[in-house]
Amino acid sequence: MLCPVAVALAGGTPGDCAQDAPADWMATGDALAAQVRPRDCAEVEQTPPDFSWPDVARDARYELTLTYPDGRKKTLAAPQNYLNWNEVLPPGKYSWQVKYGTRESRARKFVVSESSQPFLVRDMKQLAAALATKPHPRGLPDEATLKKMARERDAGLAKLLREVDGKTRTPLPQEPNGPNAGSNDSNVFDEAKRTLNSLQAYVLTKNDKYYADALRRVQNMASWNPAGRTAFTEQRMDRSARFMTFVLALGYDWLHPRLDAATKSQLQAVLTARMGQMQNELVGERSRIAARPRDSHGIQTSIMLGAMLPLVAGDIAEADAWMARTLPLALNLISPWAGEEGGFANGSAYSVWGMGDTLLYFYVLRWASGIDAAQKPWVRNWGRYMAYFDPPGSPVRLFGDGHEQPMLDEHRARYGKGYAGFAPSPLAQWWASRLSGEDASRAEFLLSPLSSEKKVSLPQGTPNSLYLPSIGWVAMHSSLADENRSSVYFKSSPPPFGAFNHSHADQNGFVINAGGKRLAIESGYYDAYKSPHWLKWLHQTRSKNAITFDGGQGQLFYEQGEKMAYGGVTRFVARPEYDIVSGDATGAYGGAVTAALRTLVYLRSDVVVVYDKLASGTPRRWEWNIHALNRMEGGDKAIRIRNGGQSLCADLLAGPPAAFSQTSEWTEAPRKGEEQWHGKWTSEPLPAAQFIVLLRIGCKDVNTEVTSGAGGWKLTVGHKRIAISESGEASVQ
């Protein structure tokens, strides 16, 4: 049974918190429902915090009562299953309850500390009134800043202008039509990008030829039928349709001072129709995104729509009402894939793409409305997450779809530098300043708030490890500052994340890189979402450095049976010379096992001890899996992985008799991708088993001694002594 890490509330006890409290009506059976935020006994980073809870019925109406530190109470009606409180809360201890009909939730606690930063969602009526008097263009910085951008990013601007110049005389694409139009949305997306390029060229140079090209492209896309094959509601067109709509909104705003009345009227009509489709689909009278926020396309669309509406407020009759419903929701959700600490449960590859897709919307929202999403805790902390889980020199992304794709090197450099300008922090600027290879002509970089291109030093005293509780990820580095570092990553995700969407059935799994090379890898290729390889290999536990049994049986993931299953980090200890992390993945196996506990002890900088404690009501052939890019050397007691001058040796120090085997075959082959190797130690059928495996990064010889007794295990590894109790808890001396 999962034992979550206890978070003690100042002045309280762990028994006051959610894991020990009785369930109430918020304990829904819908695994995809909105989270309860703030989590019970949390110390929040934002004041007021974002409030949300499961939407238990389509007709439910809610009231939220907040109890202040002095005992005073205040009640507000909620628009749905979320609420943006209407005042900054001073430091202190608070509790909150939500009433649904005659049913009232139990009280949940949170603390606002001295370090909690204010973020108050502006009154939408006041914002709409202010925007109605604001001239166009609204979604741009001032002229002096635009000139400085053009001057300081001259290489990127020159590349952009060459790109636009090469297409100013090309024929414009016709409106996609026919039975296959909706399945080829890349053509729509590409034309929207060409239009955005021309718009950028114009606002950064004020050259008439770029105005003319931007105008012809905007007018051409505006002529396409909003109810036709490019509609947002058309199958598989949501990403391209929303981006096209956003570019049309930018065209309306950025070109507005020179547009004639007929063109303004045309664009207003088209934007009303297209934004209305998005509004009705996502928000409407009862927002499906509020009820089920973990929708990777839907959350992006809601943020995009929230950023577009200030551009047309006062010009389109419906805009004010839409903004009042959409923008507060987008700011409340901001990212449903983690808590305030800035992680991304859907994997770091999709984290890069998600932030990249959102950056331009964040820029425009700040310029148009003054609302600064960089002050939201998740946005502020995203740079820390990336610095630890995708540090400079990292050869691959982590724990999710797309982790292996080479295009991400350019993407993370472009998006990372844009982000560091938008939400600067010493750690984010260190990380971004050491990335390279970005396309400097793209809007996420070219229009990002100005920041230094010089390399920045890692802030002094920065720890070499990080644990993110909400997603259950741990990063442990030999030296974060060193691009030739060794890195050990561990994942065991608690509710509500588990294995869903782009994340995999890899609870208690680990990854090891060293010297910029992959050693103990996540295997497989993201050849397509829900492809045969995706379903039968990439998302399966057998493809990870994790425990399976009886021929590769592993953990549940949502897309295989629509059942959620979770892990959880139960303990994390960080010290200068070592780190310890323990995880419980028992629940992830859907009842097939009664214990699946794993502890990693990382002895800086090149030794990892992995301890597993496994049990089942049925005897199992337990499988200890490890994967590599190249064929592994060795046999039943020790193996060696080599890759590009780096190596990793794995020694089976203790455990049941087990045979090592490896193969390069897949349960379902990917559409493309190089050969990979899949190794495992397999035991005879046993109701319970314990494994201790020593992983030596660099394969240096280390003196080891292992003994077992009534109290657990005693290990000597080099000059360190490690004790592992019967419960699996480790200590180092």
- Structure confidence at residue 16 as a pLDDT band (50, 70, 90): low
Cis status, amide bond into 141, omega within 30 of 0: no
For residues 192 and 205, membership in a common domain is answered with yes
* Rg, Å, the chain Cα set: 27
3-class DSSP state for residue 242?
helix
pLDDT for 6 beyond 60: no
Of the candidates 9, 28, 2, the one whose C-alpha atom is nearest the C-alpha of residue 107 is 9
For the chain, the residue count is: 733
**1 in a structural domain:** no
**540 in a structural domain:** yes
In single-letter form, the type of residue at position 130 comes to A
Domain boundary at 269, 303, 333, which?
Answer: 333
For residues 596 and 520, membership in a common domain is answered with yes
CB-CB contact of 604 with 622 (8 Å):
no
pLDDT for 409 beyond 60: yes
- Structure confidence at residue 179 as a pLDDT band (50, 70, 90): low
- Give the pLDDT confidence score for residue 12 in this predicted structure: 38
Report the percent of the chain where pLDDT is more than 70: 96
**328 in a structural domain:** yes
- Give the pLDDT confidence score for residue 198 in this predicted structure: 98
**405 in a structural domain:** yes
**635 in a structural domain:** yes
Exposed/middle/buried for residue 99 (C-beta within 10 Å: 0-12, 13-18, 19+) = middle
For residues 379 and 484, membership in a common domain is answered with no
Residue 677: partners with Cβ closer than 8 Å, 6 or more residues away: 627, 628, 629, 630, 631, 632, 662, 663, 664
CATH classification of the domain holding 92 = 2.60.40.10
Identify which has the larger pLDDT, 295 or 331. 331
**592 in a structural domain:** yes
For residues 514 and 422, membership in a common domain is answered with no
Residues 572-582 pLDDT 10s: 999 999 999 99
Domain boundary at 457, 491, 524, which?
Answer: 457
For residues 54 and 130, membership in a common domain is answered with no
**Distance (Å, whole) CA 102 – CA 696:** 60
Flag the least confident range among 180-184, 436-440, 644-648. 180-184
Flag the least confident range among 123-132, 188-197, 450-459. 450-459
pLDDT for 1 beyond 50: no
Torsion of CA 81, 86, 87, 92, to 10 degrees: -20
Exposed/middle/buried for residue 608 (C-beta within 10 Å: 0-12, 13-18, 19+) = buried
Mean pLDDT of 691-697: 98
Structural domain boundaries enclosing 76: 14-118
DSSP secondary structure string, 449-472?
Answer: PP---S--PPPTT--SEEEETTTT
For residues 40 and 91, membership in a common domain is answered with yes
**4 in a structural domain:** no
For residues 208 and 87, membership in a common domain is answered with no
**723 in a structural domain:** no
Report the percent of the chain where pLDDT is more than 90: 85
For residues 393 and 434, membership in a common domain is answered with yes
For residues 293 and 158, membership in a common domain is answered with yes
Residue pointed to by tokens 């990777």: 296
- Structure confidence at residue 285 as a pLDDT band (50, 70, 90): confident
- Give the pLDDT confidence score for residue 229 in this predicted structure: 87
pLDDT for 7 beyond 50: no
For residues 93 and 140, membership in a common domain is answered with no
pLDDT for 284 beyond 90: no
CATH classification of the domain holding 235 = 1.50.10.100
For residues 82 and 128, membership in a common domain is answered with no
Task: Calculate the average pLDDT of the chain.
Answer: 93
Domain boundary at 422, 457, 492, which?
Answer: 457
**Distance (Å, whole) CA 229 – CA 492:** 42
Distance between first and last Cα of the chain: 29
Residue 239: partners with Cβ closer than 8 Å, 6 or more residues away: 185, 189, 297
Residue 697: partners with Cβ closer than 8 Å, 6 or more residues away: 486, 512, 514, 519, 605, 606, 607, 608, 647, 648
Of the candidates 410, 408, 442, 421, the one whose C-alpha atom is nearest the C-alpha of residue 379 is 421
Record the tokens describing residue 378, joined without a space.
Answer: 């998740």
pLDDT for 2 beyond 50: no
Residues 300-322 pLDDT 10s: 899 999 999 999 999 999 999 99
Of the candidates 517, 499, 500, the one whose C-alpha atom is nearest the C-alpha of residue 508 is 499
For residues 158 and 277, membership in a common domain is answered with yes
pLDDT for 13 beyond 60: no
Count CA atoms closer than 13 A to 418's CA, side-chain side.
Answer: 28
**Distance (Å, whole) CA 449 – CA 441:** 14
Flag the least confident range among 39-53, 230-244, 557-571, 603-617. 230-244
- Structure confidence at residue 452 as a pLDDT band (50, 70, 90): low
Domain count along the chain: 4
Identify which has the larger pLDDT, 64 or 235. 64
CATH classification of the domain holding 491 = 2.70.98.70
Count CA atoms closer than 13 A to 432's CA, side-chain side.
Answer: 27
